[in-house]
């Protein structure tokens, strides 16, 4: 079996998880709430829940004055206003790459530019990004939606931003359709699809060419993990999302001599180790051989301000 590098935690997830752990450590005996999943990974969420973190879906579910952690996916400004109105003490673990997209939307909107966000409209990250300027931002998920887009005709141009965890081909297709309709489209200075997403996608493409089956370890609501499955499948290699060890049991292993493994940006390394062990013990695979497909230079982020406001 082959494990490809890079895989697993990105800098934004590592920062969010470390922030959550620090907040719990600094506040023994105090209820700590987290709005939505801190990152989209079941194992991470369950581990924090076991340490006492309380996950909620709405700010209204947090008692007044309590301590609230915001997830790596970011929130709309209105959510922070609501938290302040309830007197909540907030620690924001938003990934700096997501903050970059929020800032781009604010800048476009301030300049009177109509903003198109390429992304999945029900994903928390996109909901937060749209919330920066709801009147100015429209979301497109696919090239097919571009024709039907209705933008403010008096806007001072059209700009585009992108969800950070999209697949490269999805972005390219939508971007091409947007440029056909608005050749003067304003784009951010650098791509919004983050380094970790791009590197893990490139790596899984190369991995797919070297094995008969690819396993992508990650949760079903993890956008970047789902994109890895798509990237790998696009190379013609049967690829499966594995979110639980039991998922391995549903697969037919006959005639599989080489299996490739990667994991999404929010998947803990312990889960990968358990999958590797199970494949050794139950399917008799040797290894893993480590394949470094992309040289990754991860940014190192400082933790957010832990003195809650
Ligand atoms: S996948 Fe990218 S944007 Fe998302 S948390 Fe990781 S580094 Fe940040």
Residue 24 lies in a domain: yes
Of the candidates 70, 64, 61, the one whose C-alpha atom is nearest the C-alpha of residue 35 is 70
175 and 200 in a common domain: no
Residue minimizing CA distance to atom 8 of ligand 1: 12
pLDDT digits (tens, 9 = 90+) for 41-67: 999 999 999 999 999 999 999 999 999
Domain span holding position 32? 11-94
56 falls within a domain: yes
Band the pLDDT of 306: cuts 50, 70, 90: confident
pLDDT of residue 308: 57
Residues 6+ apart with CB under 8 A from 94: 70, 71, 72, 73, 74, 75, 128, 304
Q: Do residue 54 and residue 88 come from a single domain?
A: yes
> Could you tell me whether strands 67-70 and 32-35 are parallel, antiparallel, or unpaired per DSSP bridges?
parallel
Which residues have C-beta atoms less than 6 Å from ligand 1? Answer: 10-13, 72, 95, 97-98, 164-165, 194, 196-197, 224, 265
The whole-number pLDDT of residue 168 equals 86
Q: Are residues 215 and 168 in the same domain?
A: no
Catalytic residues: 125
The residue whose CB lies within 8 Å of the most ligand 1 atoms, and thus the one to mutate among 196, 199, 203, is 196
Closest approach atom of ligand 1 to CA 13: 5
Chain segment 79-133, per-residue pLDDT in tens: 999 999 999 999 999 999 999 999 999 999 999 999 999 999 999 999 999 999 9
153 and 241 co-located in one domain:
no
> Does 303 fall in a domain?
no
Are residues 154 and 106 part of one domain?
yes
Same domain, 106 and 161: yes
237 lies in a domain? yes
**Closest residue by CA, ligand 1 atom 7:** 12
Report the length, in residues, of the chain: 309
Query: Which of 95, 99, 124, 199 best tests ligand 1's pocket when mutated (most atoms within 8 Å of CB)?
Result: 95
170 and 230, same domain (yes or no) = no
The atom number, within ligand 1, closest to the CA of 15 reads: 5
- 302: in domain: no
Residues 6+ positions from 257 with CB-CB distance below 8 Å: 212
Instruction: Say whether both 24 and 86 belong to one domain.
Output: yes
Residue 297 within a domain = no
User: Strand pairing partners for 263?
Assistant: 217
**For a pocket test of ligand 1, which of 16, 100, 164, 203 has the largest count of ligand atoms closer than 8 A to its C-beta?**
164
Q: Which pair of tokens denotes residue 41?
A: 């990974």
Looking up residue 119, the CATH number of its domain turns out to be 3.40.1010.20
- Cα distance between residue 4 and residue 264, in whole Å: 12
Counted domains in the chain: 3
Q: Which two tokens stand for residue 266?
A: 């929010």
Residues 276, 205 share a domain: yes
pTM equals 0.95
Residue 162: inside a domain, yes or no? yes
Q: Could you tell me where the beta strands, DSSP code E, fall in the chain?
A: 2-5, 32-35, 53-56, 67-70, 89-92, 114-118, 137-140, 158-162, 213-217, 239-242, 259-263, 289-292
pLDDT band, residue 309 (cuts 50/70/90):
low
306 domain residue, yes or no: no
pLDDT band at 169 (very low <50, low <70, confident <90, very high): confident
């Amino acid at each position: 079996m082959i494990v490809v590098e890079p895989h697993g935690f990105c800098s934004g997830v590592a920062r969010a998880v470390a922030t959550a752990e620090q907040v719990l450590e600094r506040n023994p005996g105090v209820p700590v709430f987290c709005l939505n999943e801190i990152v989209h990974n079941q194992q991470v969420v369950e581990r924090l829940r076991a340490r006492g973190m309380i996950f909620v879906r709405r700010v209204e579910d947090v008692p007044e004055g309590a301590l609230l952690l915001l997830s790596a996916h970011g929130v709309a400004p209105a959510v922070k206003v609501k938290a302040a109105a309830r007197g909540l003490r907030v620690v924001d673990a938003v990934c700096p790459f997501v903050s970059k997209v929020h800032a781009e939307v604010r800048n476009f909107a301030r300049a009177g530019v109509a903003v198109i966000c390429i992304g999945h409209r029900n994903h928390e990250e996109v909901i937060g990004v749209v919330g920066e300027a709801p009147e100015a931002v429209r979301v497109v998920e696919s090239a097919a939606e571009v024709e039907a887009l209705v933008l403010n005709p008096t806007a001072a141009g059209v700009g585009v931003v992108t969800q950070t965890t999209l697949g490269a081909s999805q972005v390219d297709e939508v971007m091409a359709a947007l440029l056909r309709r608005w050749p003067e489209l304003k784009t951010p200075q650098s791509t919004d699809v983050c380094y970790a997403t791009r590197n893990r996608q490139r790596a899984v493409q190369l991995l797919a060419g070297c094995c008969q089956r690819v396993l992508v370890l990650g949760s079903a609501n993890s956008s970047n993990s789902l994109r890895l499955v798509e990237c790998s499948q696009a190379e013609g290699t049967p690829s499966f999302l594995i979110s639980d060890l039991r998922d391995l049991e549903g697969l037919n292993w006959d005639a599989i001599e080489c299996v490739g493994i990667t994991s999404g940006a929010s998947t803990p390394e312990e889960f990968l180790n358990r999958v590797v062990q199970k494949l050794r013990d139950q399917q008799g695979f040797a290894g893993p051989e480590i394949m470094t497909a992309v040289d990754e230079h991860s940014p190192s982020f400082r933790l957010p301000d832990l003195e809650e406001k």
